[in-house]
Amino acid sequence: MKSSIKTGLLLGLALLANLAQAADCPRIISQSPYISRALDWLGRGDCIVGVSRYDRLPLAHTGGVKDPDAAAMADLEPDVVIYSEWTGEATVQSATPPGARAVRVGGFRGMAGVEAMLREVGQAAGVADIEARVAQFSSDWRQAAARVDGRQRRVLILSACGEAPYSFGRGSTLFEVFSAAGFDVVADHEQIRNFNPQTPQGDVAAWISERRPDLLFALQNAKAGSCNPAIAKPGIPILPLTGEHFTHPGPELLKGLEELRRTMADFGA
């Protein structure tokens, strides 16, 4: 009898613990991979019940960044849906299931925007100590940038995959990160410029020659075998970097800055 009572008490305590955890963990749909990474870093990865088709997590897909699937979202009965700023406001309103909270976050316009994104994602996910976490991230990325031996080298930051490379310019998060790491980013455009070879302004090789960089940083995805030959210029070293460490705003940037530090240490003078 005593054994049965003890077992019942243990089961009851376990049930209460599970209910408390469920109450603390809202059902979240993450509508962009960088949002999923932010949630995981904040300890809320287990709260995600659905993701966009671009996400690697083995969860139900809920459409794309710009074309969320309202029916798939409704089936998951979320408490919160977190969208990227690339999802239009009207689309957010029409796609979000009744009763769910919609949150739309940025992160692509400077590190203040990245920190604001982490704060907004954390608040939506019920992270109690979000202010302390954001403050720590702010300190960590600045310290990581200071450890990079940039030496005010003239650089350009370019994608290396696909037929139409793009460059990160003034006002972009990567412009700020590489500047903080001691580089002189010599892009002459705002935000991101796409070099479509089918357009009159798509000659990326000519543009690189005009900017006269000392180094080119080529962001590559995991499947890329080599850089786009259009960005190769004689006499200008090309240093490859892992694209996903730099193009997912948030904690991935800490990995990117460490990779950048190692890359510059290996490069030397």
- Six-digit token pair at 257? 């800055």
User: From CA 176, how far away is CA 157, in angstroms rounded?
Assistant: 12
Q: What is the mean pLDDT of residues 209-231?
A: 78
Q: Please, what is the average pLDDT of the chain? A: 89
Amino acid 229: pLDDT: 63
User: In sequence order, what DSSP letters do the residues of 103-136 get, joined into one string?
Assistant: EEE--SS-HHHHHHHHHHHHHHTT-TTHHHHHHH
pLDDT band at 16 (very low <50, low <70, confident <90, very high): very low
The rounded percent of the chain whose pLDDT value lies above 90 is 76
- Which residues, 6 or more positions from 204, have their beta carbon under 8 angstroms from its beta carbon? 158, 165, 167, 195, 197, 230, 231
- Six-digit token pair at 93? 């309103």
Picking from 3-17, 183-197, 206-220, which range would have the lowest pLDDT averaged per residue? 3-17
User: From CA 225, how far away is CA 266, in angstroms rounded?
Assistant: 21
User: Which residue has better confidence, 160 or 130?
Assistant: 130
Amino acid 14: pLDDT: 39
- Which residues, 6 or more positions from 143, have their beta carbon under 8 angstroms from its beta carbon? none
52-94 pLDDT tens trace = 999 999 999 999 999 999 999 999 999 999 999 999 999 999 9
Given a cut of 90, is residue 9 above it in pLDDT?
no
- Six-digit token pair at 28? 């979240």
The CA radius of gyration of the chain, in Å to the nearest whole number, is 22
pLDDT band at 17 (very low <50, low <70, confident <90, very high): very low
User: From CA 26, how far away is CA 160, in angstroms rounded?
Assistant: 38
Given a cut of 60, is residue 202 above it in pLDDT?
yes
